[in-house]
Amino acid sequence: MLEYCATSPDHVFNADSGEELIEAYRSWLPVSDATPVITLREGATPLIPSQALASRIGRGVRVFLKYDGLNPTGSFKDRGMTMAISKAKEAGSEAVICASTGNTSAAAAAYARRGGMRAFVLIPDGYVAQGKLAQALLYGAQVIAIQGNFDRALAIVQDVANQYPVTLVNSVNPYRLQGQKTAAFEVVDALGEAPDWLCIPVGNAGNITAYWMGFQEYRQAGLSNQLPRMLGFQAAGSAPLVLGHTVEQPDTIATAIRIGNPVNRDNALRVEAESGGGFMAVTDAEIIDAYKLLGSEEGVFCEPASAASVAGLLKRRAEVPAGATVVCVLTGNGLKDPATAIENNDAPFHTGLEADTAKVAEVMGF
């Protein structure tokens, strides 16, 4: 694991400046003047208050949604990818590779192509949401769909990167986590303090590790007085960190976190111990309930995996201390997976109606 010490802890991000993430937090990141910054203006995503969630918990609890689905390729992966691709470019790399449940492949493809590099992405055939596949293809990656799950794809790309001149940009690449830790900086910059609880979906456990790194660095620099409890939520059919062992055949509607053997397992267990946090499973039904609630009551469209953080908070609501501040991380944009939205909603949808004003008024209830 790459260690990096902040050099000028007084830099506070200015969301209005239009700076890309690496410029906004340059002193906290392992970059130099020699690093070519490959950017799509990622980061600076909104922290949205959620009254619908706060009122379900009560007791003066405040809830915020860190909506990282508003990054350029629609997920938090862009934070890590601007770093990983910039550093790969600096090192003279001409090609990158990753395994992915979809979002990493979209981000890797976009940033690699922007940096003039080739991108190879391995995905589990049939288990990547349509929007993500569309992105990887449109950005011009070579997409290789294998008959196996994400865990198998990751093992293959690690082998390939060891044997051939391609840079691995999965979250075992330390620059990925360096970039992703900036989300924690933004949360503290926005709240003026670290939250009491940070609820986050967990697959490969890179993001929870990165957030913890960010919170710790800000605390060490005196920019916050406290550290959050880190609560990681996995889908019940893909919950190796909850069960304490690898899941051979992971299964969940939240395909982004359909992972049975998280590569950052040791880091995840360290974060749990250091933060007094925990891992918990949420069922697909609980994930879909939270997903629908966010859309229909808050106007926030996230992808199913992201809603695991909210499903988890609601499941543990009785344990939230009175007056606490909670942040739920929404990792990806709902538009990534339109099929799941179309199949899981309670909206009245009238199809094939005659094009007639009276008929329209009638179904409107007038």
Residue numbers at the binding site for ligand F0G (CB under 6 A): 75, 77, 100-104, 171, 201-207, 256-257, 303, 305-306, 331-332
Closest approach, Cβ 183 to ligand F0G, in A, equals: 11
Distance separating alpha carbons of residues 221 and 194, to the nearest angstrom = 13
| CA 152 – CA 243 distance, rounded (Å) | 20
Quickly count: other Cβ atoms within 10 Å of residue 315's Cβ: 18
Rg (CA), the chain: 20
Nearer to ligand F0G, 11 or 292 (CB): 292
CB of 70 to ligand F0G, least distance (A): 13
* Euclidean distance between CA atoms 366 and 41, whole angstroms: 47
| Residue 117 DSSP one-character state | -
Share in percent of the chain as helix, strand, coil (round to 5)? 45, 15, 40
Is the CB of 180 or the CB of 224 nearer to ligand F0G? 180
Would you say 75 or 216 has its CB closer to ligand F0G? 75
Q: How far is the CB of 123 from ligand F0G (least distance, A)?
A: 8
Q: In whole angstroms, how close is the CB of 255 to ligand F0G at the nearest point?
A: 9
Q: Do residues 301 and 170 make contact, with C-beta atoms less than 8 angstroms apart? A: no
Q: How far is the CB of 87 from ligand F0G (least distance, A)?
A: 18
Q: How far is the CB of 223 from ligand F0G (least distance, A)?
A: 24
Phi, psi of 361 (to 5 degrees): -60, -35
Closer residue to ligand F0G in complex, CB, 202/253: 202
Alpha-carbon span 194 to 53, nearest angstrom:
19
DSSP summary character for residue 9? T
Cβ-based nearer residue to ligand F0G, 93 or 171:
171
Q: How many CB atoms lie within 10 A of CB 49?
A: 13
Nearest CB to ligand F0G, comparing residues 245 and 359 = 245
Q: Which is nearer to ligand F0G, 24 or 205 (CB)?
A: 205
At position 74, the amino acid (one-letter code) is G
* Pick 214 or 223: Cβ nearer ligand F0G: 214
Cβ-based neighbours of 217, under 8 Å, separated by 6 or more: 6, 28, 181, 185
The pair of structure tokens assigned to 100 is: 């992915």
CB of 60 to ligand F0G, least distance (A): 29
Please state, in angstroms and as integers, the Cα–Cα distance from residue 65 to each residue in 203, 250, 269, following that order: 19, 27, 24
Between CA 160 and CA 238 the distance in angstroms is 26
Q: How far is the CB of 105 from ligand F0G (least distance, A)?
A: 6
Task: Print burial letters for 265-294: b (CB count within 10 Å at least 16), e (below 16).
Answer: eebbeebbeebebbbbbbbbebbbbbbbbb
Q: Which is nearer to ligand F0G, 300 or 324 (CB)?
A: 300
| Nearer to ligand F0G among residue 61 and residue 211 (C-beta) | 211
CB of 103 to ligand F0G, least distance (A): 3
Instruction: With beta carbons less than 8 A apart as the criterion, state whether 267 and 205 touch.
Output: yes
Token pair of 49 as six digits = 């208050």
CB of 129 to ligand F0G, least distance (A): 9
